Amino acid sequence: MGTINLRTDRNDYYQAKMIPACHDLDMSQQLAIQSRFGQMICVGGEADVVVPRSVTGGPEHCRIDDIRKLAPEEVAALPPADKP
In this prediction the pTM is: 0.75
The size of the chain, in residues, is: 84
19-78: pLDDT as tens digits: 776 776 766 667 888 887 777 776 655 788 888 876 667 788 888 888 889 999 999 999
Pairwise CA distance, residues 55 & 61, whole Å: 13
DSSP H or E segment with residue 74? helix 72-77
What is the C-alpha R_g of the chain?
13
CA of 7: how far to CAs of 33, 39, 64, in Å?
Answer: 12, 18, 16
Are 64 and 45 within 8 A, CB to CB? yes
